[in-house]
């Protein structure tokens, strides 16, 4: 089932889903049952296409795959910098090794003459 971002309270299966960061109590009275029901303040809800079709305003698709964790963008940038530095170090080492090989070959050729 696709996940949706909750922008207005939605009640489903005796759980009321509210927007992330909403200041709410742990339980709210249910509109149809008159009893207290638990509140999910995660800001996300999974709905089937039929259930989502009834919602015309206030909900948008959140994501279809794995969500980006907090600090994910910074982590990717740091990883890219680290990878670039590692590649530069590796390239410098390979260049030094090649120059050493060329010098060795030149010395060996000079000894033959």
| Token output for 21 | 């960061």
62, 39 contact by CB (below 8 A)? no
pLDDT digits (tens, 9 = 90+) for 30-60: 565 667 677 777 778 888 877 777 776 655 5
Q: Of the candidates 20, 39, 18, which has an alpha carbon nearest to the alpha carbon of residue 28?
A: 39
Q: Which residues contact 48 (CB under 8 A, 6 or more apart)?
A: 1
pLDDT digits (tens, 9 = 90+) for 60-111: 555 556 666 677 778 888 999 999 999 999 999 999 999 999 999 999 999 9
């Amino acid at each position: 089932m696709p996940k949706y971002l909750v922008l207005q309270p939605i009640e489903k299966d005796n759980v009321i889903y509210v927007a992330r960061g909403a200041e709410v109590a742990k339980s709210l009275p249910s509109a149809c049952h008159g009893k207290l029901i638990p509140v999910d303040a995660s800001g996300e809800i999974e709905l089937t296409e039929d259930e989502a079709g009834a919602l015309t305003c206030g909900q948008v698709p959140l994501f279809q795959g794995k969500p980006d964790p907090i600090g994910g963008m910074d982590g990717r940038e740091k990883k890219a910098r680290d990878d670039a530095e590692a590649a530069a170090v590796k390239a410098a080492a390979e260049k030094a090794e090649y120059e050493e090989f060329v010098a060795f070959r030149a010395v060996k050729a000079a000894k033959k003459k």
